[in-house]
Amino acid sequence: MRVRLQIVILLTLALSPLVVPVVLEHAPNIQRPGSMALLIVTELLKGALLGLAARLLLAAVEFSGTTIANLIGLGGLPGAPIEGAEPVPALTSLLVMTATLLIFVSDLHWHVLSALVNSYKLFPPDGWFEAQPSIAAISEQMSAMALLSAKLAGPFFVYAIVINLAMGIMNKMTPQLPIFFVSMPFVIAGGMLLLVFLVDDLLAVFLMVFGGWVKSI
Distance from CA of residue 128 to its chain's centroid? 28
Query: Could you tell me if 93 and 80 are in contact, meaning their C-beta atoms sit under 8 angstroms apart?
Result: yes
Q: How far apart are CA 93 and CA 96, in angstroms?
A: 5
Q: How far apart are CA 149 and CA 59, in angstroms?
A: 9
pLDDT beyond 70 at 198? yes
The single-letter DSSP state of residue 131 is H
Which helix (H) or strand (E) segment holds residue 13: the answer is helix 2-26
Range with the largest mean pLDDT of 33-37, 52-56, 171-175, 192-196? 192-196
Mean pLDDT within 122-136: 69
Query: Could you tell me if 107 and 130 are in contact, meaning their C-beta atoms sit under 8 angstroms apart?
Result: no
pLDDT beyond 70 at 17? yes
Q: How far apart are CA 110 and CA 44, in angstroms?
A: 21
Higher-pLDDT residue of 166, 127: 166
**DSSP state string for 80-121:** --SSSSS-EEHHHHHHHHHHHHHHHHTTHHHHHHHHHHHHHH
The predicted-structure confidence for 98-121, as pLDDT tens digits, reads as follows 888 888 888 888 878 887 777 777
